[in-house]
Amino acid sequence: MSTTTERPAGHPADGPAPAAGTTAAPAARPAKFRRRGESSPLSRALSHGVLILASLLALFPVAWILFVSLGPDKSDYLHPGQILGKLTLSNYQHVLADTDFFTWFGNALLVSGVTTVFGVLVAATTGYAVSRMKFPGHKPLMWSLLVTQMFPIAVLIVPMYTMLSELDLLDSYAGLILVYSTTTVPYCAWLLKGYFDTIPVEIDEAGRVDGLSPFGTFWRLVLPLARPGLAVAAFYSFLTYWAEVPFASTFMLSSDKYTLAVGLQTFVSEHDAQWNLMAATAVLIAIPSAAFFYLVQRHLVTGLTAGASKS
């Protein structure tokens, strides 16, 4: 039977005992290492500072227009320090009561709303057809849509004016909607084609097994799944043509058919510019855009990044 012998404290085998009145040194702490991809506190502070600065630069023009719109005189933008002592909403009252603002608002809402619905519907059917149906010429079709985005507006105005004149569509909402659709459909078709590529083809096959037609499969199964992509396309279309100037100012000739952007030009004459009224109108124009962005914002990130990883 084995036995163990207890050694008294301070035995030489235990090493030298600490001197009286002293304490044992604490164990050294292991060095702290940053995980891969983790940034240092200095780099985080710098990145946050840059982001804050960029946000302030982005918000400054909006805040400046809002501030100038509260000054009663058209030259207050030259002396912004004087506006604080005479803040007023008289500019908004004048724009809403003494101008054709609500007529401009209705025209802009009609044109941009119909363009958004019609353009997104055509772009969705085009993008879905190219994504799912490999018909002859589908690649040249998409390349032709891409090429149309290369021409600047200044080059397109003259031929479009000629065509609308020959079709008797000048100074009409239908003509302006067609012009807007020819520019919004190509971009939205490419956008939605990339989103439809991320939706599994098995969903289409399941729809055909259940007896749905190709259009029924698209309308009842695929389109609801493409809601984020549709939100991005609708937001792009509405925001682009809500305050569009070159086409509207060229093709809309009657004052009662002016859109908001064209009506805004009535505050500028050859020898004078009412900057306070223009600032107030600009703020009012931005409100529907901000409201529309609020409605679709939860779909924007998903819709913009959905096709990024699809080859």
What tens digit of pLDDT does each residue of 186-232 get? 889 988 988 898 888 898 888 888 888 888 888 888 998 888 889 88
Residue 311 pLDDT level (bands cut at 50, 70, 90): very low
pLDDT of residue 124: 93
Give pTM, 2 decimals: 0.75
Please state the rounded mean pLDDT for residues 91-109: 92
Three-class SS of residue 9? coil
Query: What is the rounded radius of gyration, in angstroms, for the C-alpha atoms of the chain?
Result: 33
CA distance 61 to 69: 12
Residue 113 pLDDT level (bands cut at 50, 70, 90): very high
pLDDT of residue 161: 92
In the block, tokens 């101008």 appear at: 99
Three-class SS of residue 268? strand
Q: Pseudo-torsion of CA 64, 70, 74, 78, nearest 10°?
A: -40
How does pLDDT run across 44-65, given as a tens digit for each residue? 889 899 999 999 999 999 999 9
Alpha helices in the chain (DSSP H): 41-68, 90-98, 101-132, 138-147, 153-166, 173-196, 201-209, 214-217, 223-225, 227-242, 246-251, 260-264, 275-305
Retrieve residue 76's tokens.
């207050």
First to last CA, the chain: 76
CA distance 296 to 236: 11
The vertex-65 CA angle with 61 and 69, nearest 5°, equals 170
How high does pLDDT run on average in the chain? 83
